[in-house]
Amino acid sequence: MTDEKVLTYIKKCLDAGRMSEAIETSEIAKVELSKEELKNYIQKYLENGWVSKAIEGSKAAGIELPKEALINYINKYLDEGRIYSANEASRIIGIPLPREKIIIIGRECFSKGKLNAGLEAYKLLKENPPVEELIICGSVCFKEGQYYSGLEAYKLANKNPPVEELVICGTKCFNLGQTTSGLEAYELASKTPTKETLRVCAEICLLEKRHEEGRKALVASQKIDDTNEEKPIGIKEISLKELRSSKEIEESWKGFGPEKCLDCENEEEFKERFFLLSRCPAVGKEEEWLDKTMKEKYRVEHFTVGIFGDNKGLVGSAVCARCGSRKVSFESGETRAYIELKR
């Protein structure tokens, strides 16, 4: 090994907290490691909360680590709510953690909606967290849109979550683009979200390219309109020329078109066909139906579905004019379009 490689290796060991390995390597390779440098690393381990690594390292380096320093760190960890590190340190040096302080920390965690940290604190005390603190925690979680933590907190408190909090949570989830938890919160509350909320949620998901969640929100919003629910999806072939002047679909479809032949990489010449969908297909059965109908009725096997801001869909299919391939990718133009190539 060259000196440079040895040094890199030693640095890697030190960064990972493997000080004795670093020291051994340096001795074999006759590379000097200063006490000062090792001391800094031990300090760093303690800052990171790596108590056992710091103690092991200090033994290997022959650097004394006074008990008082460790106790100071325990207090620091506790103040910062780093319960795991505090507990590890107290176990190693054999000093019990101050009960009062842990109770305060646990309570604080719950009041901030940090369910797991709060539970961790009470676990150390070998006590069940008080019901009222769990309820506070659940309530905060719901307000922040942390549906599952909120639910868990109420479950541990053995209480049913209040309907109004569930609705607040569901709405918050939708505003954060979390379709699944939002829908679950509303369902548990036996309430129906507004179409608008769902549309906003869908838009956020589509912008962030989380297509499944976006489509779920769109489909849910369609179902709210009872008249739409049972209606089958209408398919209508439309020429690009007609499409351009059509008022049947929101502007955002513009820019939707063939991008590249996946076989010969041609990006210019295509023969295209477009079909307007009266609404966006749901995942599963409706998708299968669309696949089958496109194939049997229109002889289109490869196509891309774009779902735009007004819930309408646009099917695009293209044949490469150069090589005749039907595997052509589409671009959506507008980022909020949902787009997927069917093969």
**Interface residues toward Zn ion, by CB under 5 A:** 261, 263-264, 266, 320, 322-323, 325
Q: Which two tokens stand for residue 125?
A: 């005390």
Enclosing H/E stretch for 341 = strand 338-342
Strand partners, 339: 306
Nearest to Zn ion of 191, 322 (CB atom): 322
Closer of 3 and 301 to Zn ion (Cβ): 301
| 3-state DSSP assignment of residue 340 | strand
CB closer to Zn ion out of 131 and 323: 323
The string over 138-156, giving b where at least 16 C-beta atoms fall within 10 Å of a residue's C-beta and e elsewhere, is: bbbbbebbbbebbbbbbeb
CB-count exposure of residue 128 (10 Å: 0-12, 13-18, 19+): exposed
Q: Judged by CB, which is closer to Zn ion: 21, or 263?
A: 263
CA distance 115 to 152: 9
Q: Which residue has the tokens 């340096």?
A: 26
CB of 258 to Zn ion, least distance (A): 10
- Closest CB to Zn ion among residues 163, 323: 323
**Nearest-approach distance from CB 188 to Zn ion, in angstroms:** 51
Phi, psi of 66 (to 5 degrees): -65, 145
